[in-house]
Every structure is written in structure tokens, then in C-alpha cells.
Chains A and B, each alone.
Chain A
Amino acid sequence: MKKSFVLVCACFIVSCAALPALRPLDRPPACPSPFLTEKTRLIHAIEAGAGGKTRAVLIGITLADPAARTLSAAVLTPEGMALLEASFGPSGATIGRALSPFDSGELARRMMEDMALIFFAPAGEPVLRGVSAAGETVCRWRARPEGWVDVFQGRDGRIGIRRYSESGRLERTVTLAADAQSSYAAIELHASERVDYSLTMTLIESEAAASGR
């Protein structure tokens, strides 16, 4: 029993040790909050890259409801062909239409999770607030069902999001535009997976969406 307890403690320490350390401040900083506060429809041009090259240019439509934490999304070719229609909610992603390269389902699910990471504030209260080694103001949340989410603001004022695995491996880095009008005017997402990929999103238009639509 004692051995198991020590093992659990050791695992916990190792897993937390991989997360970047935050230096607590006497007065905890206010958390940066670029996230949507009302139901919004956004249309972005998306450049999807892998291996340092642009692989596809797409149109992404997102209808996100932060109160219900649900979103619907469609991905179209520049010619208007819908490659993906999917929704995301507390129970996960539901794929409607999925053509190549989304037909495997895995890429579609990951894309929906990425959109949720970008547009929705992490649930609950931050577990830690402080300053990173790079001097960023950081608030850290426990992610659901597992892992960690940091929302940070750099010295240059730019806001970003980092998602870590349970063991502290960096899985996603999102950098948002330093645009006073909309943080979502330009979004850059880098994913560290078996095959790394990036999404560069440029806002075409956005509008508040009426409830129920």
C-alpha cells in the first residue's frame, strides 16, 4: 500500500514536472479572455499545412454557442464543395458529411476539438495563475476529460492558448491576432501529433447569431 502511494505520488510529480513552471505573483493576474461570449457565426479562410508546406486552402464556417458549449462547423473547398459538416458538444464530435481527407473521422474529430479549444473558454476556474519563464501572464486550467490548458498573454500583448497532455506534452499552440476589434481576425494553430500540422485562419466575416440558428 505504501509502495503504491509512493508510486502514485512519483507519477504525479513527474507528470506535473513536464508542464512549464509558472511563478506565482503576490497579486494573481487577471486571466486573458479572448473567447466568444455570445453565439457567433464566423467564416475563415484556412490554410492547412504540414511538413512546412501548404497542403490545402479551405473555407471554414463555424457557428459557436459558448453558453451551451456547442458548435457546428463546415469546411468547404474554395469552389464551394462541402468536405466536412460536423457538430461538437459536451458528448464529443458528431460527423455528418465527411469527404476526403476527413472521411477517416479522426481528422474531423481533431478539427472539431481544435475549434472548441480556439473559441470556448476553458470550463471552470483556473487552477494556477502566474508568469512563465518567457514573462507571459498565464492562467492554467484542468482540461476535460484530461490534460491542461494554458491561456497566456505575451509581453507584446498577443494572446494565445496552449494545450498539454496529462503528462505535460505540448499538443497545441494557438496564437491569436493582436487585433483590438477581434482576436479571431487571424488565428494560427500548430498541432504536435504523429504528423504535425498547422492551420492559419484569416477571418472573412463574422456576425452575432440569433439564438436557435
Chain B
Amino acid sequence: MTQAGIKKAALLLLVLFAVLPGGARADDFDRLRKEAARITTISADFVQKKTMKILSKPLVSEGKFYYTAPSSLRWEYTRPLRSVVISEGGITRRYIASGGKMIEDKSGGVQAMKIVLDEVAGWVSGRFDANPSFAAALTEGPEARITLTPTDKNMAGMIERIEITVSRRDAAIKTVRIVESRTAETLIDFQRVVINKDIHPSVFREVQ
């Protein structure tokens, strides 16, 4: 290979490292973790758009999200159906609207939501690469984009990948896109995000 050829190949490799998600290094995730450590509370509204082959347009859900470090969470849907999942001190409870009141869901769905909320708590605190069930890759750009790809074969056919965008300004999560298949995905868009403003502890204890 000529000198010019080596130079070209090196340049190409540099470009590839800059563009490919796999180019993300461990210290990039460390930086995200350090930035997220400044977050003590988050409250936000969210709009969720579910796309499926059976639907002609996305099914839109709306709700509210609350977080207090290290792991208190409230994930509340207000429409089309009301449901509330609250998690504090390792205990997760799920409530569903029935007959005009909120009742506690005692089914196995609670355990599934606990797994999801534990994962979300990890993301909010910047621990995107902590779960061995997913391979995490980071793409730098105007917003940090983390792509999580399942490593667990049991997830095959359930989730293809999860894409999370994180604000450069305050390290808060802006969107979560869960790609279930070629024709099904869920996009959650966080809006009116408020960082580090006190949240009353009852938010994580009472369904209200």
C-alpha cells in the first residue's frame, strides 16, 4: 500500500469510528453517568405513540412521569386509560382504573412493570450500559443517542432495539423509541421537563 493509500485508509477508519455506534467508548458512558448524577428529581409530561400494523394511525397515550433519585418513580397514564405504576424502596405497585376508582393490580403484570421501571431508573441516572441483557452503543450528535440491542435470545421477537435520546443541555431523557418489529414500535416523547424541583414524597406512595 502506498503512503497516500495508508493515509486514505486511516481517514476512512477515523470517519467510521466517529459515525458507528460501536465507536462509543466506556468513558462516553461515564460522562453520561456523571452528567446524570446532577439530576436529583425529574417531572415531565409524556406523549406515547404506538404504531402497529393493525392501526391506521398511531394510538396516542398521554401521562406524567416523576423521578426522585436514586430510584423512586411514578409512571402515570392519563389517557386513553388511566393506570399508575409507583416504585419506591424496591417495592412496585400498579393501579388500574375500574368502575370509576383505582384498584391495585395483583396480577403478574406488576412484576413485568417492576423490571421496566428498574430499567428506566437506570437510564434516568445515566446507567445505560449496566444491564447485561442489552448491548449499549452511544452515538454522539446534537443529542446523545443510546441504542440498546437485546443480547438475551428470550427477547427475540419482543424487542428489536431501544433508542434513547438524551438532552445535551441537562442530560435528561428526551425520547425513548422501542422498536418491537418492522411494523410495531412505541415512541415516548417527554415534554415540559422540570429538573431538580422538589417532588412531594406522597407522589411515590399514593395513587391519588
Interface residues of chain A, those whose CB is within 8 Å of chain B, are 41, 43, 45, 47, 54-57, 59, 61, 63, 72-74, 76-82, 85, 97, 99-101, 204, 207, 209-210, 213
Contacts and interface: CB of A to CB of B under 8 A. Distances in A.
Give the size category of B's interface with A: 20 to 34
B81 A78 contact: yes
Contacts of A81: 112
B77 to A, nearest CB: 5
8 contacts: A47-B98, A56-B107, A59-B59, A61-B55, A76-B59, A78-B81, A79-B113, A97-B157
Contacts of A100: 108
Contact of B50 (A54, A56, A76): A76
Contacts of A59: 59, 80-81
Interface in B38-87: 48, 50, 52, 54-56, 59, 61, 75, 77, 80-83, 85
A186 B50 CA distance: 24
A85 B54 contact: yes
Nearest to B49: A80
Nearest to B61: A80
Contact of B52 (A47, A54, A57, A61): A61
B207 to A, nearest CB: 14
B35 interface: no
Contacts of B52: 61, 74, 82, 85
A78 B96 contact: yes
A47 to B, nearest CB: 6
Nearest to A54: B98
A59 B60 CA distance: 12
Nearest to B77: A78
Contacts of A73: 54
Interface of B: 48, 50, 52, 54-56, 59, 61, 75, 77, 80-83, 85, 96-99, 103, 105, 107-109, 112-113, 116, 157-158, 180, 184, 186
Contact of A63 (B54, B81, B105, B108): B54
B59 A61 contact: yes
A99 B112 CA distance: 11
A82 B103 contact: no
Contacts of B99: 47, 54
A135 B75 CA distance: 50
Contacts of A41: 54-56
A97 B52 CA distance: 12
* A interface: dominant SS: strand
A99 to B, nearest CB: 8
Contact of A57 (B61, B75, B96): B96
B83 A56 contact: no
B82 A43 contact: no
The 7 closest A-B pairs by CB, nearest first: A78-B83, A57-B96, A78-B81, A54-B98, A80-B50, A204-B80, A74-B54
A56 B157 contact: no
Given A80-B59, A100-B108, A57 B83 contact: yes
A82 B108 CA distance: 15
A207 B107 contact: no
Nearest to A87: B54
Given A80-B48, A100-B108, A207 B56 contact: yes
B65 to A, nearest CB: 12
Contact of A56 (B55, B105, B113, B186): B105
B96 A61 contact: no
Contacts of B50: 76, 80
B54 A61 contact: yes
Interface hub of B81, B96, B157, B184 (most chain A Cβ within 10 A) = B81
